Amino acid sequence: DVKVTQSSRYLVKRTGEKVFLECVQDMDHENMFWYRQDPGLGLRLIYFSYDVKMKEKGDIPEGYSVSREKKERFSLILESASTNQTSMYLCASSPNYNQPQHFGDGTRLSIL
Amino acid sequence: AQKITQTQPGMFVQEKEAVTLDCTYDTSDPSYGLFWYKQPSSGEMIFLIYQGSYDQQNATEGRYSLNFQKARKSANLVISASQLGDSAMYFCAMREVLYSGANSKLTFGKGITLSVRP
């Protein structure tokens, strides 16, 4: 089975902090994705990557950056956390565009 | 621009009955794919079923089937013989092929909450 692991299930940070959310997949997938999920808004794509060191902006990239130095790891970075970034963050991976994305368990991030 | 619409309010179904969850989409691309995911209260997203725009048959996976009506741009999920464990939020998503042609992203609907009554 595909395993997508997010480093933290729950995280509490303060406004202005630099926050790192880590995601690791064990199936050698090419594509990796970061979403945020908010009530009534569904999942919105922040950034994605289809190869090592490659990244593409999703629908809501402002305030975020990403890093993919190794194929299995995709990191989401909040450069200077703000309260409106309190949300559930979901990481996903897929081998190619015709295959379903496999998700991690999510990180509930609270910015105080 | 792509759009996925899930407009049903919270849905309720009696255990062992069938239920249909609606999804309509809007795209001008001839090639696209439609996915359904389930999200229980624990939070993980579970892939249920996939339908490609050129598939001739409606997709089925166990108790899940997809009622794909291309002309109407609808891709409704049908769950037969509902179980208590089916209580969850359900998301419809569409694959969008990007300019590179080799990569894609998913656009998700806002989800539907399903509650199964004993």
Secondary structure (3-state) at A53 = coil
Interface-testing mutation among A4, A25, A43, with chain B (most B C-beta atoms within 10 A)? A43
Q: What is the DSSP letter of A41?
A: T
Q: Does B3 contact A at CB distance below 8 Å? A: no
Q: How confident is the model at residue A41 (pLDDT cuts 50, 70, 90)?
A: confident
Cβ atoms within 10 Å of A46's Cβ, excluding its own: 23
Q: What pairs with residue A6 in β-bridges?
A: A23
- From residue B19, alpha-carbon distances to A9, A40, B24, B84, B114 in Å are 32, 22, 17, 13, 9
Q: How many CB atoms lie within 10 A of CB B61?
A: 12
Residues of B in contact with A48 (CB under 8 A): 105
Highest average pLDDT, of A52-56, B17-21, B41-45, B98-102, comes from B17-21
Distance in angstroms (rounded) separating the CA atoms of residues B34 and B92: 7
Task: Report CB contact under 8 Å: B105, A33.
Answer: yes
Please provide the size of chain B in residues. 118
- Number of residues that make up chain A: 112
Which pLDDT value is given to residue A40?
84
Q: Decide if pLDDT at A109 tops 60.
A: yes
**pLDDT computed for residue B102 by the predictor:** 55
Mutate to test the interface with B, among A35, A56, A97 (most CBs of B within 10 A): A97
Using a CB–CB cutoff of 8 Å, tell me whether B55 touches chain A: no
d(CA B7, CA B24) in angstroms, rounded, equals: 9
The secondary structure of chain A in percent helix, strand, coil, rounded to multiples of 5, reads: 5, 55, 45
pLDDT tens-digit readout, A63-98: 999 999 999 999 999 999 999 999 999 999 998 767
A100 touches chain B (CB under 8 A): yes
Is residue A21 scored above 90 in pLDDT?
yes
Query: Residue A98: what pLDDT?
Result: 73
Q: What residues does B13 pair with on adjacent strands?
A: B116
A interface test, pick of B45, B54, B99 with most A CB neighbours within 10 Å: B45
Hey, how many other C-beta atoms are within 10 angstroms of the C-beta on B9?
7
What are the tens digits of pLDDT across the range B55-76?
989 999 999 999 999 999 999 9
Task: Answer with the residue of higher pLDDT: B100 or B49.
Answer: B49
CB spacing of A98 vs B103 below 8 angstroms: no
What are B48's two structure tokens?
Answer: 């249920």
Task: Tell whether B59 lies on the interface with A, counting CB pairs under 8 A.
Answer: no
pLDDT band at B9 (very low <50, low <70, confident <90, very high): confident
B96 touches chain A (CB under 8 A): no
